[in-house]
Structure 1
Amino acid sequence: MAWLEKREGGWDRGAAATFAVLGAADGALLGAVGLSWVDREDGLAVIGYWTLPDARGRGVATRAVRAVTSWAFETADARRIEIAHATGNEASCRVADRCGYLPEGTLRDSHRYGDGAYHGEHLHARLAADPEPAADPGGPTA
């Protein structure tokens, strides 16, 4: 868990909180969710998340993002939380939708990914005043 240890203390510095997503049965690492402050005084934050390939398609990201979103609104005084993902990442789009994050537009050439090139991202956001999303009646999710 060296990746998580590098992020330890982020909350104390007022920058970010990172949560490991672990399997209920065996405690195996499935992924992570991070909440980073854009402007803490204004309550503006972003959520980022990832899951290991074996954890995808089982609702892991959706459950984790919902949990961190609720925590951020109820405990950390977030007012608005944003999710931005690569325009071609349909799984992340479904996670944002299932977690109540409304689509707000496309950010052109906004993020440099691992290939070194800038890519567009879809922006989703949720406000503390927005209603909780309904439980997802569908099958597996990202």
Structure 2
Amino acid sequence: MTSILSTPPAIPAGTLASRPQPSLPAAGGLLLRPWEAADAAVFFAAYHDPEIRHWHTRQPASEDQAREWFDLYRQAWAEETGASWAVTRGGGEVLGRMAMGGMDLHDGVAGCSYWMLPAARGAGVASRALTTLSVWALGEAGFHRLYLDHSTRNNASCRVAVKARFLLEGTKRSDAVHSDGRHDMHLHARIRGDE
């Protein structure tokens, strides 16, 4: 039996996948671009950083697996379920990662996540990249709501979210596992029309 939807989708199926995943220029000479095979070494090495390892428990085991993840990112774009970008200085040096996951095209909702390499921290790179991703997603891409969550103990991630105009909506108790066990998570969101 086919179900009938009572409301039209926020983003019609095929809208995103009908074109290549975009590269997004950001302030300060940044460029968010799709991951390339040549990025595997820096991507794999990023997960040896203690901060990234602590907050991101899913980690590639090798450069080959990093390239496999890049293939999965391309597949997610084609299936309109997710997207991942390398945050770069002008398209070259990789500074970090921005991603959208759990894309719900019908409701126009997606989750965001990110990490930055140590050299890029504290300089506003993450907040500029997240702001750029948000403007594209809530504008041209057609999403209505973006959300992200982070450990209540991850103050740096909270600052990034607030600078990128993601409002704090509440706390999800014991919601995620990090390297030292379960953490409460702050939930932030930005919706189309937020100032």
TM-score of the superposed pair, with normalisation by structure 2: 0.62
CA–CA distance in structure 2, aligned partners of residues 60 and 114 of structure 1: 25
1:15 to partner: Cα distance? 0.8
1:107 to partner: Cα distance? 0.6
State the partner residue of 2:22: none
| Selected match of 1:112 from 153, 177, 184 | 177
Kindly indicate whether residue 119 of structure 2 is the aligned counterpart of residue 81 of structure 1.
Answer: no
State the partner residue of 2:30: none
State the partner residue of 2:18: none
Residues 1:113 and 1:130: Cα distance change in structure 2 (over 3 Å): same
* Residue identity matched to 1:92: S
* Residue identity matched to 2:127: T
State the partner residue of 1:21: 87
CA–CA distance in structure 2, aligned partners of residues 118 and 13 of structure 1: 31
State the partner residue of 2:61: none
State the number of aligned residues. 129
* Residue identity matched to 2:139: E
CA–CA distance in structure 1, aligned partners of residues 103 and 87 of structure 2: 23
1:38 to partner: Cα distance? 4.5
Matches within 5 A, 1:1-142: 1-2=39-40, 3=66, 5-6=70-71, 7-24=73-90, 27-115=92-180, 117-131=181-195
1:16 to partner: Cα distance? 0.4
What is the percentage of aligned positions where both structures have the same residue? Answer: 39
1:54 to partner: Cα distance? 1.3
Q: Compute the RMSD of aligned alpha carbons.
A: 1.6
1:48 to partner: Cα distance? 0.2
CA–CA distance in structure 1, aligned partners of residues 138 and 102 of structure 2: 13
Structure 1 unaligned spans of 5+: 132-142
Name the structure with the higher helix share: 2
TM-score of the superposed pair, with normalisation by structure 1: 0.84
Name segments (4+ residues, structure 1) moved above 4 Å.
Answer: none
Structure 2 unaligned spans of 5+: 1-38, 41-65
